[in-house]
Amino acid sequence: MANFNKVNVSLDARTELHDKLSLTGAEISINNLPAGGSVPFVHAHKKNEEIYAILSGKGKAVIDGEAVELTAGDWIRISPAAKRQFFAAQDTAISFICIQVKENSLEEYTKDDAVV
């Protein structure tokens, strides 16, 4: 068995990588909203924080009622309890990655977790 998984994804509205990559510690999705489009629901989480990376385009997130403008290159972390919804700008699409992990679960990172 290989120690890695590789997948190529298309530009679907949403692609979840949990099953495609056999993820065991995170959920990652790739999201593409057309100009004027939005995630069709407001949501929060029980345990998982979300980290969003804006890949292209522009739009906004409404987080606990506050509008946060987003553009390519932006990163944003949202705590589990925050209510959120994402919107593309009226004149341009937006593409973003969402990484979902259990809040406060990181024990070691980068050089502290490396084995050389």
pTM of the model as a whole: 0.89
pLDDT mean values, one per 10 residues, the chain (116 residues): 84 87 93 96 96 98 98 98 98 97 87 80
Assigned CATH topology for domain 28-104: Jelly Rolls (2.60.120)
pLDDT of residue 81: 97
Q: How far apart are CA 98 and CA 77, in angstroms?
A: 10
Interacting residues of 35 by C-beta distance below 8 A, sequence separation 6+: 88, 89, 90, 91, 92, 93
pLDDT of residue 48: 96
Per-domain residue ranges for the chain? 28-104
pLDDT of residue 14: 87
